[in-house]
Amino acid sequence: MTAVAHAQEMKASKSSEPALLQEWTGPYDGVPPWDKVKVAQFPAAFQAAMDASKSEFEAMLEKPEAITFDNTITANELAGEKIGRLFSIWGVHSSNLSNPEVRKIQGEWEPKVSAFFSELTLDARYFQRVKYLYDTRATLNLDTKQTRLLERTYDNLVRNGALLDPAKKAQVINIETELSKKFSTFSEKVLADEETFILLASEADLAGLPESFIAATKAAATSKGKTGWAIVNTRSAVQPFLENSTRRDLREKVWRAFTNRGDNKNANDTNATIAEILKLRQDRAEILGFPTHAHYRMADTMAKDPDKAMDLMMKVWPAATARVAEEVADMQAIANADNITIEPWDYRFYAEKVRKAKYDLDQEAIKPYFQLDNMVAAMFDAAGKLYGMSFTENTGTVPVFEPKVRTFEVKRDGNIIGLFYLDNFARAGKRSGAWMTTYRSQHKLGGKNNIVLASNNNNFVPGADGVPTLISIDDASTLFHEFGHAIHFLNYNITWPGLAGVPRDFVEYPSQVNENWLLTPYVLNTYAKHYKTGEPIPAELVEKIKASDTFNQGFATVEYLSSAILDMKLHNRSVPVTDPAAFERDTLAEIGMPKEMAMRHRLPQFNHLFADDGYSAGYYSYLWSETMDADTWAAFTEKGDVWDKETAERFRAMLMATGNESDRIEAYRAFRGRDPDVKYIMKKRGFPTGE
């Protein structure tokens, strides 16, 4: 075949390929073609992507030459680009742009894709090649990173069933497929409850609410074709309502609607789905040779052992509940005047009254200084001061999946390293919470050095027409947190894609470290400016914020830890729970959950655990990571300058840029000279350290 004929054949082949699988074009090594995507294209694209992946896989297995690292491990590392592009686009539709059509495709195709990749993973021919390389690795002249990749590949295959007989492999594949179906069902039910709202019909219902929030709820009602004010059933709307509304009856109504998501004994109740997921997870763990799902999930983490994670949590739990008792006593002293006893729907409201009384600090007095756009500029500036990164807005030059998404070109040392997408606002069809994702990650294999495409996704309530979006300190902390994830991946400098994924209990570490710079004097003095006057935040207000730094830490810690402890107790058991509601009630009583509080994520709506396997037996990882975070912040403060470039560069180069190229515990020890000390997280939260 002539070169011209070959080129024509390749062109024809590409033109017949679904658009969702074609190479991305445009700047930054190509960008997702959001403007060309139609939801109806996904089913055909999924099938074509699986066919392409199967062809790549078979071509690798059928090579007649001797088995080598290059024709097995390297070949596998370079495979899958088409399906990777497809799932980057699909992930945005299932998380940011969900609708009935998307959910129908999700329910039908995600189980098929799950079964397909389970079959590839457990293919005996592939494992035989990997095992041969693993057994002879000492003779292959591999460097340390190649050796780590080979060993991790082998261990991961064994952990997921490569040594099982065919019948048990089939069982595992069936379980994975069924789990995928249950995850989709769970997500659909929770999202359906989160798309509900409580409509306030009269101005009397607005008592105590700040003007900016009233305007936002009015806009929310209008967008739903309603007259009045809509409190949508998401955290970003519920939390400020609970903090400010003087209507106790409505606080209870809103709180119950929010905490009972997935638990209303109706078509969207998730308790039966949870029980089915737990049974499937335990069955899989036992087939794979693990005593519990927790042991299976934690085999490739820093903690390794469920008991080690539980030990850390129970070191903090008593101090946290003791602090809650103190916080409740302070609130009850004020609530006595209203002749009420503090209930969960009162906690945030009276906490704000205590904050005002103790520190003369009103959250609503702070909010006008925390304009969303200014806080975005602040997080970019902080990354520049610390890591030499620059962010230049180029919104409008590349396609986006929603008109309000902003984009930024990212450089370090004058070189383009990434494109950053920012999707800040809540809307129908977008899942709750905040998260970071990458559409394309960095690696240098095959002569590449990919420009990273990273995205932050938040659920802030936009300001009404003509009014800037104002956010709370908690919201600003979330903004910096998610941006910390983006910084982590934008700074990757790795060769092998298979060494990109870090352990679950390391994932949150760089993001939690990044939160620390939000309330530094430089950031506050430079970016916390009144949205009307442009005046910087007054020094006395900054001092009040600093003085109240550990305020309400009992609440924050117990709210999180109760969810993390239940996660571990739910999954570190050989007999699966069949009644999640009873388990939640009884376990909270057993550990001494304060009656004035609820978990941050009750089981019926706990997407971290039941929308996929990601954080199951892993929600403890926030505390594990925060222990490293507090210890790392001490490394900066010990320098006498939290902007110390030498410390920042060591943190970037040793812990962020390296992905999983070395054991993360060893990497941390190299950075800090020792293991992280739990005393720093206790100090950070204002708890006794025993010193």
What amino acid positions are annotated as catalytic residues?
Answer: 482
Q: Judge contact between 549 and 270, C-beta under 8 A.
A: no
Nearest residue to 294 via CA among 565, 152, 285: 285
Paired residues of 199 in beta bridges? 230
Name the one residue in this structure whose structure tokens are 């903690």: 303
Q: Judge contact between 375 and 527, C-beta under 8 A.
A: yes
Q: Structure tokens of 574?
A: 């050989």
Q: Cβ neighbours of residue 579 under 8 Å, at least 6 residues apart? A: 271, 275
- HSE-CB for 58 with a 13 A CA cutoff: 6
Q: Structure tokens of 90?
A: 């699909």
Nearest residue to 366 via CA among 240, 234, 479: 240
Calculate helix-pair angle for 553-571, 580-591, nearest 10 degrees: 130
Q: Judge contact between 19 and 387, C-beta under 8 A.
A: no
Rounded to whole angstroms, the Cα distance separating 190 from 268 reads: 7
Q: What is the CA radius of gyration of the chain?
A: 26
Q: Structure tokens of 307?
A: 């008991």
Name the one residue in this structure whose structure tokens are 């302070």: 330
Q: What angle do CA 75, 80, 82 make, to 5 degrees?
A: 140
Name the one residue in this structure whose structure tokens are 């935040």: 537
Q: Structure tokens of 244?
A: 């400010």
* Strand ranges (E), 449-587: 452-460
Q: Judge contact between 657 and 491, C-beta under 8 A.
A: yes
Nearest residue to 460 via CA among 447, 449, 476, 448: 476
Q: Judge contact between 432 and 234, C-beta under 8 A.
A: yes
- DSSP characters over 30-71: ----GGG--GGGHHHHHHHHHHHHHHHHHHHHT--SPP-HII
Buried b (16+ CB within 10 A) or exposed e, 394-419: eeeebbbbeeebbbbbbebeeebbbb
Cα 114 to chain centroid distance, Å, stands at: 21
